[in-house]
Each structure stands twice: as structure tokens, then as C-alpha cells.
């Protein structure tokens, strides 16, 4: 585990402790079960592929630890509309404030402005956050294998499914992939960024997807910045893409999405 990931997880555990003092799990659970109906995240990806189109999870975030500030003037509602019109299958919204600059209502504003399902992208360390995700309107949650032991991974996966949430299970190497495949399901996300060095290469996805069973949907994460990257991954048989940075630094994120995937969407 990298130093920055360890630091983020330590801070996240403290955030959860503080949140539990403000709102009990029982009250949070009640909010979760009364939240707006789930939009099927997995089905939205499948439907794109069935129509021979890329399943693009378009991300919004203001900053990241590795790249610094990306877009200070982020308008979640406006960008959600741009992404939907450009052909995205789903949204990914960063909800971490300290390291990614998120604001409390970013996810709700984005989801309320479109019909797309939304991934809450954050660092899950406690089942409290799963209920919190559903309460805020998320349709899918991210579980990072590198951040969880086997018991935690199984517990959080089960908690997510109990609320009807889809799960994007993120891996970085073959060992993490083996652990992810032990789960009964989940969308498989292969992160091309090495968490220790922050070096990014799309070859990571190409190398690992070859051993993924045909019934598991694969999404590549990080490093898709140019049309050549899309072409390389498409040629390797990949259909799922989670893209954030390339869109966030563009004047018009929707136009950049269409440009990056031109001829395929």
C-alpha cells in the first residue's frame, strides 16, 4: 500500500467515526431505504455494449493527489448533462473532500440533472459508508481491493448488494485480481495507475483482462487520455472505460468525450 493511500484510509476511518457520532446507523439506514429508486449501473453498461457502443463511465472531480487541481469551477449538474448528451453510459462522482475537493452535494446535483446511474467514488472502509452512499442517491459504489482485507471486502460487497447497489471492484495487479474474482459478482475495474509509483500504463488492463472470466464486465480506469489509448484498448477487446482527467481539463467535457470516442459512440 502506498503512503498516500494509507494516509487517505486513516483519514477516512476518522471521518466515519465522526459521522457515526452525528448520525446513528439506524437513522442512516432509514434514509438509505427511503432514497430514490436505484438506476441499474451494470445494466447501463451492458446496454451500450449490446448496441456495439463503448460503455463510458464519465467522471467528475475537482482535483486528485497525483495531478493536483483539475477543475475548480466544477458544475456537477451542468457537466452531468453534457456527459449524458455526449453518450456516456454512467457517471462517476468523487465524494472525498480532503483529497479530491468534493462538495457535499456533488453527487446529488449530478444525479438529479440526468437519467444516468451514478457511481459514488470514494474510499470505502466501513459498511456505514455503504448505507451513506445509498442515502445520498448512489447506484453503485467503489471497493478498492488494495484498501481492504478479504473479510472487509466480502462484508462491504454484501452490504452494497443488500441495498441493491452495484459494485465496481478495483484491482491493480494479479494478486488483487485473484481476490476480486473470489467475490460472487461485481464489475471489475482495472486501475492502470501504480499506487506506489503513480506511473500509469494501459498495458496493465490489457495484461490482466486476459485472465478475467467472460462473465465479468471489465472497466479500464486511469490513463485513457488520447484516441490512441481508446483504439489500443478497443483492439484488445475492451468495452468499459472510466475516464475523468481527460474530460475535466477540457473546456467542454462532453465535446472531449465525443472526440475521444469518435466513430464508436
Q: Is 182 exposed, middle or buried (0-12, 13-18, 19+ CB in 10 A)?
A: exposed
What positions carry a catalytic annotation?
Answer: 59, 61, 121, 170, 191, 221-222
Secondary structure percentages of the chain, helix, strand, coil, to 5: 45, 15, 35
DSSP 8-state secondary structure symbol assigned to residue 185: -
Going by C-beta distance under 8 Å and a sequence separation of 6 or more, which residues neighbour residue 150? 179, 182
How far is residue 88's CA from residue 82's CA, in Å, rounded to a whole number?
9
> 52: burial class by Cβ within 10 Å (0-12, 13-18, 19+)?
exposed
Report d(CA 174, CA 212) in Å as an integer: 10
H helix count then E strand count, the chain: 13, 10
How far apart are the C-alpha atoms of 205 and 203, rounded to whole Å? 5
User: What whole-number distance in Å separates Cα of residue 252 and Cα of residue 19?
Assistant: 36
Closest CA to 232 of 188, 201, 187: 201
Amino acid at each position: 500500500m502506498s503512503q498516500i493511500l494509507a494516509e487517505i484510509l486513516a483519514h477516512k476511518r476518522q471521518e466515519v467515526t465522526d459521522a457515526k457520532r452525528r448520525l446513528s446507523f439506524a437513522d442512516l439506514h432509514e434514509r438509505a431505504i427511503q432514497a430514490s429508486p436505484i438506476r441499474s449501473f451494470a445494466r447501463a453498461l451492458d446496454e451500450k455494449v449490446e448496441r456495439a457502443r463503448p460503455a463510458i463511465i464519465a467522471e467528475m472531480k475537482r482535483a486528485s493527489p497525483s495531478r493536483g487541481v483539475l477543475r475548480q469551477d466544477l458544475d456537477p449538474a451542468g457537466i452531468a448533462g453534457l456527459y449524458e448528451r455526449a453518450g456516456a453510459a454512467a457517471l462517476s462522482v468523487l465524494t472525498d473532500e480532503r483529497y479530491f475537493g468534493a462538495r457535499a452535494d456533488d453527487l446529488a446535483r449530478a444525479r438529479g440533472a440526468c437519467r444516468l446511474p451514478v457511481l459514488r467514488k470514494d474510499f470505502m472502509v466501513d459498511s456505514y459508508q455503504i448505507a451513506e452512499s445509498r442515502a445520498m442517491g448512489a447506484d453503485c459504489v467503489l471497493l478498492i481491493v488494495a484498501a481492504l482485507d478479504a473479510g472487509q471486502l466480502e462484508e462491504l460487497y454484501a452490504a452494497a448488494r443488500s441495498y441493491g447497489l452495484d459494485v465496481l471492484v478495483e484491482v491493480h495487479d494479479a494478486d488483487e485480481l485473484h481476490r476480486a474474482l473470489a467475490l460472487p459478482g461485481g464489475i471489475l475495474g482495472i486501475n492502470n495507475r501504480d499506487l506506489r509509483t503513480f506511473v500509469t500504463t494501459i498495458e496493465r488492463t490489457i495484461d490482466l483482462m486476459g485472465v478475467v472470466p467472460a462473465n465479468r464486465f471489465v472497466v479500464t480506469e486511469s490513463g485513457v487520455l488520447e484516441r490512441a489509448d481508446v483504439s489500443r484498448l478497443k483492439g484488445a477487446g475492451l468495452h468499459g472505460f472510466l475516464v475523468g482527467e481527460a474530460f475535466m481539463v477540457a473546456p467542454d467535457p462532453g465535446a472531449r468525450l465525443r472526440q475521444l470516442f469518435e466513430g464508436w459512440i
